[in-house]
Structure formats: C-alpha cells, structure tokens
Structure 1
Amino acid sequence: MTKSSKKAAPAAKPAASKAPAKAKAAPAAKAAAPATATKLGKTELTDMIGDRAGLSKKDAGAALSAVLDIMGEALKAGQTIGLPGVGTLSVKATAARQGVRPGTSEKIQIAAGKKVSFKIATDLKKSL
C-alpha cells in the first residue's frame, strides 16, 4: 500500500503546480489591459499596421518582423538608423571603467563595450 500512496503524492504535486499557473494567468490577463495604455507591444503594432495599411495580420506581422530584423542587423554593423519624425538610433562605444560590486564594495573592472543610443526628433520632442 505504500506504493499506491507514493503514486498518489506525485499526482497531487502536478495538480498543485497547475493551480499557481492558473493564478498567474489571471493577473496577467488583467495586467494586459492597463499595459496597452502605457506600452505598445509587437502585437498591438501588428494590428495597427494591418488596419492602416489594409494588410492581413499575418502580412503586417511579417512586415514588422522584417523591419525589426533589418534594424537589428544594421545596428550590429554599426550603422545609424534614422526614423523620420521619431528620432535616430546609433551605436556608441563605451570606455572601460572601474566599478563597485554592490554588497561587497569590491572594486571591479568593467570592460569597454557598445551601447545603442537614441536621439529624439526635434518635432516629436516639442509636441510631447
């Protein structure tokens, strides 16, 4: 009988693990409504592109993915991307520097690297 009680215990664990998953899904659905007001995600952009350009969601999604891929490749190559009316994305080099590890106050050396910089368009900045 100990074997059957052992089998029952693992069966109870997945049921218990499913309950938190459902609990997590419900707040995420509620959080999605306010997030659309403050953040415009890829899905919302795809829908808006489809509506304005008269494309299906599939075609709009493919077009948006292509644009984002091209932008990523251009930035990796060190190119500057100008978005008329929005701003300019560019890659800038960062110098090596000394930092402090939080908690231990140990001094560490941070290697040189690159970062993406964004400069907002003047017209957009004025209208905000």
Structure 2
Amino acid sequence: MDMAHKILEVLFIMGHVEEAIGRINLMLENGCLPDLDKLLVSLCENDRVIEAHKLVLEALYTEENTLPAYSMLCKIKNKGGAVDQKVCDALMESLKVGGCSKQADILSRILVDNASLTSKRGKRAAMGV
C-alpha cells in the first residue's frame, strides 16, 4: 500500500489527475482503501490544492461517501484551499438528504466565513492597507 500511495501521489503532482482518480476508484472497487488523509496532506503541502479538491469530489463524493467527502473538504479548507461553491452546495444537499444536517450546517458556515475573509482581504487591498 505504501508503494500504491507513492504512485498516486506522483500521478497527482505530475498533473495526471484523471489517471490517479481512476486508480483510486479501481482500488475502492477491489476493497482497498488508500490512505486518503495522507494523500490529501501531501497534495496540500505540495501546493496541489486543486488536485486535492478533485480527489475529494471524484473518489469520494461520486461514490456517495458523503461523510468522508465532507471531512476531506473541511481539511482542504483548513489548509487554505479553494473549493467550488456549486460542488459544495451539492455536497451539502447530499448530507441533508442522508440525515447529516449538522455537517451540512458546518460546511455552510465554513463557506460563509471564507467568503467574508476573502471580502475583507479585497477591501484591504483596494484601500491600500
């Protein structure tokens, strides 16, 4: 599994996102769960937040693993990564439908807090602060 993790990490870092996601899906189909936490941390540390985001969406959310997708998305946000609002809205809806309204509310607050921080940064830049 260590070798598989390293291969996935290199694929993502080299920009072969679709191939890496395909391999993750293949692993999931065969009952092998790669260490997604470790992979996400590595991607964020290597400034590959977009790839980390795609990993969450493709490997978890599309497989209807909404709670792990929620968890990973929160980790990406905590690392300072940007997320797609439309995708987050879909995930929040899935969480609500699945009976996880608390997590949907938390995700909503994280996105609102992030929007207000971005807005404040933009105002400071415009004011020359």
Fold conserved between structures, TM > 0.5: no
TM-score by length of 1: 0.29
Structure number with larger C-alpha Rg: 1
Higher helix share: 2
TM-score by length of 2: 0.28
Higher strand share: 1
If asked which structure has higher relative contact order (CA below 8 Å, sep 6+), I would say 2
